[in-house]
Structures are given as C-alpha cells and as structure tokens.
Amino acid sequence: MRLWKRAAGALKDRNSIWISSISRRTSYRNPDLEAVVIKATSHDESYVDYKNAQRVFQWVRTSPIYLKPLIWALSMRMEKTRSWIVALKGLMLMHGVFHCKIPAVQMIGRLPFDLSNFSDGHSKRGRTWGYNAFVRAYFLFLDQKSAFLASEMKLQKGRIRQTEEPFTEDLTRLQKWQSLLDVLLQIKPQGENMIVTLILEAMECVIVEIFEVYSRICGGIAHALLRVYETGGKVEAEMALKVLQKARVQGEELTLYFEFCRDIGVMNASEFPKIEQIPDEDIRDLERIISNGVSVSNEDRAIVLKESGAIVERREPR
C-alpha cells in the first residue's frame, strides 16, 4: 500500500509538470518556475529537494518580477493538494522565500493561500490528525509573520525622516515578536509516529526561525530597559514590565521545547545555548518606577540581560 501511494504521488507530480510545460507564459505564469516549484514540493515523504528549493530562492533574489509567478504557482499547488507532504513542503519553501530578505517578499501581507483548516485526504483521519495539526500550526505562523513583516515595512516607510521611533511603538513591536514566538512554539509533532524525515527537516527550519525571533526579543528587551531607565515614564515602565514577565514565561517554555527537540533528534536544537532567565532585579526596578514614578539611578540598575546574552547567530534554512 505504501509503495502504491508513492507511485501514485510520483505520477501526480509528473502530470503536474507536464501540464505546466504546455501552459502559456504570462506575467502570472512561468512554466519553468512552476516545474521547479512542483519538484520542490513533491509527494515523496522521504526526500526534501533542496536543489530545486535553492533554484526558487535564486529566482527570487535575481529579480522581483519572479515573485508574482512564484506566489501564483505555490498558491495553486497549496490550494489543490490534499497531501500533508506537499502542503508541508510548500510551507517550508515559503519559509525559505521569507529568508531571502527581499523587500518585495516582505510586502506580501497575509499569505495568498489558506491552510488553516487543512486535512489530508489520502489516509484515514485517525492516522493523519497530527500531521494536519502540524501543517495548520506552521501555516498560522507563516501567515502571521507575513502580515507582521508587511505592517513593519509600512511603518518604516511612514517614518523615514524620524530619527527614533516612539518608545511605546518599540515596546508594542516587542510584544508582537513575543506573540510570534508563542505561535512558533506550537509547531511540533504530536505523536511518536510523526518522527519522520520530513517532520524533522521542518523542525530544523523552525529552530532556525526561533534563533532569529528570540535574538530580536533579547536585543529589544536590553534596549527597552535602557530607555525606561533613561525616561522613567510610568506608562512605558508598565509596558516594559509586561514584556519582561512574558519573557520569563517564554524562557521556561523555550527550555522545555528545546529539550523535546533534542530528544526527538532535531540537530539544530543541540546548538541552542542555555536560556537566561530574566533577573529579579530588572523586575523590581520596573515595579519601583511604576509605584514611585522615578527612574532608577545608574548605581542601582540591574540590566543583567547583556547584549552578549542574546542569540545573535543568523543562518539560512537549507
């Protein structure tokens, strides 16, 4: 039965490639790019085609004109599929496109396809519920990240002449990054039967993303504490306190998450440094500012969360 499924999946991929080869080239359609997208999102559960994924990334980096046909090809592929394998490979490909750091990609906004209610149609529901949940969680993260990046680009364009953004906006952005980390932590296999090659490869991509998001949060907290100590504003201190309290909870969740990832064999998880907890001194300093309405003196500042404590390693997904 398993061999039959693989053969059927390979036949579907070949048919899709043939159909794309006879399609007319337009501003929305590029038959060559469509064929590469199909190969990169094949039905083969045991194989991730990094070669063709890299070809997609190279197209995007070459010129923004390739983004429209790429989004069209990937969206059509995602909307039609009922295979969790194809859906997950498509999300991994989209994830890699975001890491190309192209302005046009960051302006996409909400993803042009919807996998929030994805359900695999090739196996009994009892066997695939975990895979369905994994695909939905991964989609939710990418959709929220895409919307967040677009809103950030619009904000940056609106304050080109402004030297420094308002402190409350800075803190609000930190809270959004923390919300994004919450969504990231929901992406994980739910059962032992899910510890397969493709799931582990997807988890490697998730770990790389957590490196980046957590690094931004750590750097943002250090910067926010310095600004709170300089201004001593009660409203800002209250917002900063919520950020620190949230960071403390997320630090504990991250520790458990990476222990789980190491146990199931996710290689990148072993490279993640020990999570530094938010110092009690920083919490007390902010509470003092809120209750007394005065800033903390230089001698009394804690700021144990140093720049070196943040995770600064940045890597591209394979």
Tell me: pLDDT of 60 over 60. Answer: yes
Instruction: Determine the 3-state secondary structure of 83 from DSSP.
Output: coil
The proportion of the chain whose per-residue pLDDT surpasses 90, expressed as a percent, equals 34
* Cβ–Cβ < 8 Å for 37, 59: no
Q: Which residue has the higher pLDDT, 98 or 14?
A: 98
pLDDT at 315 over 50: no
Q: What mean pLDDT is predicted for residues 94-102?
A: 89
Cα–Cα distances in Å, from 64 out to 100, 104, 105, 267?
A: 11, 6, 8, 33
Residues in contact with 166: Cβ distance below 8 Å, sequence separation at least 6, in sequence order:
none
- Regarding predicted confidence, which is higher, 242 or 272? 242
Supply the pLDDT for residue 310. 41
pLDDT classification of 116: cutoffs 50, 70, 90:
very high
* pLDDT in the model for residue 318: 41
pLDDT one-digit tens code per residue, 121-149: 777 666 788 999 999 999 999 999 999 98
**Mean per-residue pLDDT for 37-58?**
90
- Alpha-carbon distance values, 30 to 148, 257, 294 (Å): 28, 41, 61
The confidence band for 218, taking pLDDT boundaries of 50, 70 and 90, is: confident
User: Highest mean pLDDT: which of 101-110, 195-204, 238-247?
Assistant: 195-204
pTM for the full predicted model: 0.84
Count how many residues are written for the chain.
Answer: 318
Q: Is 304 exposed, middle or buried (0-12, 13-18, 19+ CB in 10 A)?
A: middle
DSSP for 51-68, please give it. Answer: HHHHHHHHHHHH-GGGHH
- Lookup: tokens for 269: 């998880």
Give the pLDDT confidence of 16-37 residue by residue, as tens digits.
Answer: 666 766 677 776 788 888 899 9
Q: Left, alpha or beta for 274 (phi > 0: left; psi -120 to 50: alpha)?
A: beta
**Mean pLDDT along residues 270-288:** 74
Q: Residue 305's pLDDT is what?
A: 41
